Structure 1
Amino acid sequence: MKKPITILLSTGLIVSATFGFQSTTEAAAKTYKNCTELNKDYKGGVARTSSAKNKGGKTKYKPYVSKALYDANKKSDRDNDFIACEQ
């Protein structure tokens, strides 16, 4: 009798932890008004993935990689290379 209850409780904890973690990471993505504001926190801009390649030429700083943050500030990616506000 103890084994099914233990399995049920463990499954419930895993499921609740998984869904709770996803909602907090999505809520943490801040939307910036413009690139000047974004570059105060992230000098190299924000890349959607680590494999994103810069189309705009040489940059001084490496971008911070975050899908949620990039998606929140996608409007700032003028050249559509999946890096917003690169410098």
Structure 2
Amino acid sequence: MKKVCGILLASGLILGVSYSSTNVAEASTKIITYKNCTELNKVYRGGVARSASVKNKGGKTYYKPFVSQALYDANKSKDRDHDFIACEK
């Protein structure tokens, strides 16, 4: 009986922690369309990349871009060189 209670308690804790961490990750990134790159770079210094595997076409950058497909899609018009990184610095 003690083993069954222990197993149920442990699985409940694991499920509770995994459920709460996914909700926090989804809520932390707000999808905002910025007016220009200056406004976007105030929040995301290195710009916004569509995925972690994209490479910058324009040369060396000083900051690493923030990776978010939804945020990139909202600000796609600011990607002038079409390398899937908007407003890179």
Structure-2-length-normalised TM-score: 0.71
Aligned to 1:76: 75
What secondary structure is seen at the aligned counterpart in 1 of 2:29?
coil
Q: CA deviation at 1:71?
A: 1.9
Aligned equivalents of 2:71 and 2:66: distance in 1?
13
Residue-by-residue CA offset, 1:4-49 (whole Å, 9 max, x unaligned)? 1111111111111111101111100023331332200222112244
Unaligned runs of at least 5 residues, structure 1: none
Q: Which amino acid aligns with 2:12?
A: G
Aligned to 1:4: 4
Q: CA deviation at 1:80?
A: 5.5
**Identity percentage of aligned residues:** 41
Where do residues 40-51 of structure 1 align in structure 2 (5 Å cutoff)?
A: 40-51=42-53
RMSD of equivalent CA atoms: 2.2
Structure-1-length-normalised TM-score: 0.73
Q: Does 1:39 align with 2:56?
A: no
Task: Sort the Cα spacing of 1:19 and 1:84 in 2 relative to 1 into closer, same or farther, 3 A.
Answer: farther
Unaligned runs of at least 5 residues, structure 2: none
Give every structure 1 segment of 4 or more consecutive aligned residues whose post-TM-superposition deviation is greater than 4 Å.
Answer: none
Q: Which amino acid aligns with 1:25?
A: A
